[in-house]
Amino acid sequence: MTDPKKRADRWKAKYNLERVNETLTDLREDMAARYEAAMNQVYAMEMKVKEVINAAGVSTSLYVSYLNFGRQLYKLSRQQLISGETLAMAAQVLLDKWTARGCDPAVLARIRKDVFTIEAPKP
């Protein structure tokens, strides 16, 4: 184990606020551009989910649940980089979860297929 004074000195150097501020200032423009691009993708996905639930005649009081299902599928399909049968099985787990919370499984299945092009898992 290193000397406690050395540890404290390294921590102070690492977390020098001026240095951290300079680093974040340099990265901010790229970070903002990536955030904006991600939010545009999320917005487009949410609009597609709303189209599906509108077509199914879902009550507006349940929109939040269906949108949350869509957001969770989005995270699975885009951020965790899983695909194929593994993605289909994970999507089925989410579908079962939101069905247990009161959502219509047929509407959830349409969101899974129409918005995310994820087929039902093979038996």
Three-class secondary structure of residue 14 per DSSP: helix
Fold of the 4-115 domain: Methane Monooxygenase Hydroxylase; Chain G, domain 1 (1.20.58)
C-beta separation of 88 from 118 below 8 A: yes
Tell me the per-residue pLDDT of 59-102, one tens digit each, with 9 for 90 and over: 999 999 999 999 999 999 887 778 899 999 999 999 999 999 99
Q: What is the mean pLDDT of the chain?
A: 93
pTM for the structure as a whole? 0.79
Average confidence (pLDDT) over 24-43: 95
The DSSP symbol for 119 reads: P
Q: What is the DSSP string of 43-104?
A: HHHHHHHHHHHHHTT--GGGHHHHHHHHHHHHIIIIIS---HHHHHHHHHHHHHHHHHTT--
Instruction: Please state, as a whole number, how many other Cβ atoms lie within 10 Å of the Cβ of residue 12.
Output: 9
Q: CA-CA distance, 74 to 66, in Å (whole number)?
A: 12
The predicted pLDDT at position 1 comes to 57
Average confidence (pLDDT) over 7-34: 89
